[in-house]
């Protein structure tokens, strides 16, 4: 099962197993990691699961849909590595991916 590393808002790093087909958000919520709030449960509605994806990993996930891109653009601290983690579906190729969780997720 791919392991994903979350760099938490306080700088700590947590590495957890995330089953293929689940989202980076799911992995965080299931392990009760701080920083990803996920109010809408993964519906690309609330924008409270913002993460920064490492440059090397950007291509491992599907391109953002307009719905996601429009939310992300106006988030605090957004940059070109910003994604909503509910839209980042984990595949085998994602093993070892690192995401940074900002402290601004609502």
Partner 1 sequence: MNHTAQRVVVVGAGTAGGTFAGLLRQAGYDGDVVMLGAEPDPPYHRPPLSKKFADPAADASRWLREAAFYDEQRITLALTESAVDLDPVARVVRTDRGRELRYDVVVLATGARPRPLIAPGAHLDAVLTVRTLSDANRLRDEVAAGRTMAVVGGGFVGLEVAAVARSRGLPVTVVEREERLLARVASPPLARVLAEHHGRRGTVVRTGVEVVAVEGARGRAQRLLLSDNTHVAADVVVVGVGAQPCDELGRRAGLVCAAGGGVVVDDAARTSMDGVLAIGDVTVRPRLGGDPMRMESIPSATEQAKQAVATICGAPPPAPEVPWFWSDQFDLKLKIAGILAPPYDTALRGDPRAGSFALLHHRDGTPVAIETANANADFMAGRRLLASGHLVDAERWADPAVPLRELAFA
Q: Write out the residues near partner 1 by the rule CB under 8 A.
A: 29-30, 32-34, 37, 39-43, 45-48, 67, 70-71, 73-75, 106
User: What's the rounded Cα separation, in Å, for the pair 7 and 13?
Assistant: 4
Least separation, in Å, of the C-beta of 56 and partner 1? Answer: 28
Least separation, in Å, of the C-beta of 46 and partner 1? Answer: 7
C-beta of 43 vs 59, nearer to partner 1: 43
The arrangement of strands across the sheet holding 97-100 comes to 13-17, 3-7, 97-100, 50-53, 82-84
Q: What is the DSSP letter of 55?
A: G
User: What's the rounded Cα separation, in Å, for the pair 98 and 105?
Assistant: 18
C-beta of 2 vs 105, nearer to partner 1: 105
C-beta of 60 vs 105, nearer to partner 1: 105
C-beta of 56 vs 76, nearer to partner 1: 76
User: What's the rounded Cα separation, in Å, for the pair 58 and 94?
Assistant: 10
């Amino acid at each position: 099962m791919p392991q994903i590393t979350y760099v938490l808002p306080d700088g700590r790093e947590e590495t957890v197993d995330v089953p293929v087909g689940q989202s980076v958000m799911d992995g965080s919520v299931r392990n009760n990691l701080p920083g990803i709030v996920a109010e809408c449960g993964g519906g690309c509605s609330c924008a409270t699961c913002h993460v920064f994806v490492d440059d090397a990993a950007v291509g491992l996930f599907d391109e953002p849909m307009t719905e996601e891109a429009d939310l992300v653009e106006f988030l605090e601290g957004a940059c070109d590595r910003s994604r909503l983690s509910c839209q980042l579906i984990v595949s085998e190729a994602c093993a070892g991916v690192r995401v940074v969780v900002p402290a601004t997720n609502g």
